Structure 1
């Protein structure tokens, strides 16, 4: 039974996610609650990163910061959390100093035995669910709230590499040397993802996004073997569970960064309503590939935000023209997460330009 929440006043994001051509593009940005905001940095002065994630009060506070700063310009909020809460729930230690660090990564398949055999997300990740419910109430229906998780391949990489990587040598050693053990671990992660996403809908999330941030590290062949099956498994089983548990039908977005080669496959067979795009594909080409099967999200290069207002306006105008050239829903966003050095006023200009150039009136 989902809690009672204030009625939604702005459903632009949800309509676009369902494929509707909207009066203008809804807009939000990945990592919009984050280090580029001075109010977020102020919170971090006295609280460690995962402490903020684990505190429903703090997580809700920072989730609301961009909504309050950019009143009337943002069409979505995304709960402040991290994709690595899933490895933590599975029994792994993760530190943030400043990037993610696993003191005890999985070196060989025998290390999988150290993970929890069963993960009770209601116990291990209840703090995320509490933060979502609290935030949904605090939003007062102003905009929808997005929940999310990392994709199995992306989480697999962190769990084996012990952090970020330029080569993914360790993770790729696993998939090439231990393919069956790798598939088993990916499946184990996928099951936790399903439980976690369903739990977020129960708590009040109105759209779900799966981040396969390192999808582009895999060749098309290896993506089809080690990433795609778990992505489809997640969408299929989340939808099944939502029906079985009488929960709201919730749109789902997949952001498989760097896997533009797979757009046709993902549009046809992945089961997601929205595909997020990085900045390395032209919107016209993306729409040609996917047709009207899915909505699209993206895709300005985040570094344009450092280029000054003329550069931002020009890029937004070009992006809007590209997405509006075809039919189907479109959600304006960056092609990856906003980076810490961006001036919040330049992001505001990005939002204002999207409002101006995506309007169909």
Structure 2
């Protein structure tokens, strides 16, 4: 592995591993992106996936919030997209302005698994640009904060690959679950195999913590989640950690985020992840009672609170910190990604409040 600068701020790593911290660390999903004017400037010059595939640009964009909010963020997350795995599998993914991701030639019938997707995926060949960006960014951070890598979870990626983009009902993807369940499981396993290799590659490249995004987990019933999501996200955690240990590499903390899957909290806290991220619909007291200290919790302020005035943001952050606690097994985040029309100054108020209130509650200052 590459030699990297020593880490100066390991707060989030310690929190993920269950160690006591002087305050709760904070980062924000989608913290590098459309709400920042400096990102929009880059986006005017470059296509979205060009930024993802160009390590120098991905590094630049990943560092933008770290530089803007100097000393306020406790982690960087590599600028990429969950849909690079479907791309590696052979599908075209386009990022259409005002619409989002579009897959013009989605999977329609089970036979498409064999005709439209690559049989074997070499992640170093297909996704090596992500690994290069991680290594470059890790060096450019110079130890300021840890660097996070991430992937989309198999069910979420399968849904995109069948729907051809976002969907309000996921009716096409769910049709596979109920009409072609064995083919659905074969596809989920195929995605899982690539996801495992991709995460391992990110960690070897320099990612110090990784997150798995099951963004559409809450679209499944509890039974269907247990059948079509949980076995695959569990497999990812188990296989990634086992392979790293086998190769003599220390595993990094792993986070699972299943949006809307409040009913699965007990299971999610028992399948090998260090941190479980919560969306804003989950009550912290309930989450703590279910997970019983087995994992670190992450989250979970409603991203829309950042449209409120500064006093509302501060009051909401204080209540969240008081409920979760600030010294053990907690990482501050939003309950989903920051929205693209949020004022960057409101993000700054959020981060500053996390710091000041966190220190107050820990008794570090008067």
**TM class by smaller structure:** over 0.9
Contact 2:306 2:347 in 1 (8 A): yes
Matched, 1:276 2:292: no
In the alignment, the residues of structure 1 paired with residue 315 and residue 106 of structure 2 have an alpha-carbon distance, to the nearest angstrom, of 44
In the alignment, the residues of structure 2 paired with residue 308 and residue 40 of structure 1 have an alpha-carbon distance, to the nearest angstrom, of 24
Please list the CA deviations of residues 222-281 of structure 1 after superposition, one character each: whole Å capped at 9, or x if unmatched. Answer: 00000000000000000011111122220000000100110011112x210000000001
C-alpha displacement at 1:94, in angstroms?
Answer: 0.3
Matched, 1:329 2:326: no
**Which residue of the other structure, out of 246, 254, 265, is the alignment partner of 2:256?**
254
Please list the CA deviations of residues 146-204 of structure 1 after superposition, one character each: whole Å capped at 9, or x if unmatched. Answer: 00000000000000000000000000000000001100100000000000000001100
TM-score (norm 2): 0.97
In the alignment, the residues of structure 2 paired with residue 36 and residue 328 of structure 1 have an alpha-carbon distance, to the nearest angstrom, of 31
Contact 1:294 1:328 in 2 (8 A): no
Contact 1:92 1:115 in 2 (8 A): yes
Please list the CA deviations of residues 2-39 of structure 1 after superposition, one character each: whole Å capped at 9, or x if unmatched. Answer: 10000000000000000123110100000000000000
In the alignment, the residues of structure 2 paired with residue 76 and residue 163 of structure 1 have an alpha-carbon distance, to the nearest angstrom, of 29
- Report what 1:89 is aligned to: 88
In the alignment, the residues of structure 2 paired with residue 83 and residue 91 of structure 1 have an alpha-carbon distance, to the nearest angstrom, of 14
In the alignment, the residues of structure 2 paired with residue 242 and residue 135 of structure 1 have an alpha-carbon distance, to the nearest angstrom, of 22
- Report what 2:311 is aligned to: 310
Aligned length: 358
C-alpha displacement at 1:328, in angstroms?
Answer: 4.1
Equivalent residues in 2 for 1:214-253, closer than 5 Å: 214-253=216-255
C-alpha displacement at 1:311, in angstroms?
Answer: 1.1
- Which stretches in structure 1 are left out of the alignment for 5+ residues? none
Please list the CA deviations of residues 57-78 of structure 1 after superposition, one character each: whole Å capped at 9, or x if unmatched. Answer: 0000000000000111000000
SS in structure 2 at match of 1:261:
helix
Contact 1:201 1:248 in 2 (8 A): no
In the alignment, the residues of structure 2 paired with residue 6 and residue 144 of structure 1 have an alpha-carbon distance, to the nearest angstrom, of 11
Contact 1:258 1:278 in 2 (8 A): yes
- Report what 1:149 is aligned to: 151
- Report what 2:134 is aligned to: 132
- Report what 1:53 is aligned to: 52
In the alignment, the residues of structure 1 paired with residue 87 and residue 316 of structure 2 have an alpha-carbon distance, to the nearest angstrom, of 39
- Report what 1:173 is aligned to: 175
SS in structure 2 at match of 1:57:
helix
SS in structure 1 at match of 2:111:
helix
Matched, 1:205 2:207: yes
In the alignment, the residues of structure 1 paired with residue 146 and residue 273 of structure 2 have an alpha-carbon distance, to the nearest angstrom, of 18
SS in structure 2 at match of 1:45:
helix
SS in structure 1 at match of 2:276:
strand
C-alpha displacement at 1:145, in angstroms?
Answer: 0.1
Contact 1:282 1:322 in 2 (8 A): no
In the alignment, the residues of structure 2 paired with residue 10 and residue 284 of structure 1 have an alpha-carbon distance, to the nearest angstrom, of 29
In the alignment, the residues of structure 1 paired with residue 356 and residue 266 of structure 2 have an alpha-carbon distance, to the nearest angstrom, of 31
Matched, 1:105 2:106: yes
- Which stretches in structure 2 are left out of the alignment for 5+ residues? none
- Report what 1:347 is aligned to: 347
In the alignment, the residues of structure 2 paired with residue 314 and residue 288 of structure 1 have an alpha-carbon distance, to the nearest angstrom, of 24
> What's the Cα RMSD here?
0.9
C-alpha displacement at 1:308, in angstroms?
Answer: 1.1
- Report what 1:43 is aligned to: 42
In the alignment, the residues of structure 2 paired with residue 58 and residue 245 of structure 1 have an alpha-carbon distance, to the nearest angstrom, of 31
In the alignment, the residues of structure 2 paired with residue 328 and residue 27 of structure 1 have an alpha-carbon distance, to the nearest angstrom, of 13
In the alignment, the residues of structure 2 paired with residue 92 and residue 358 of structure 1 have an alpha-carbon distance, to the nearest angstrom, of 45
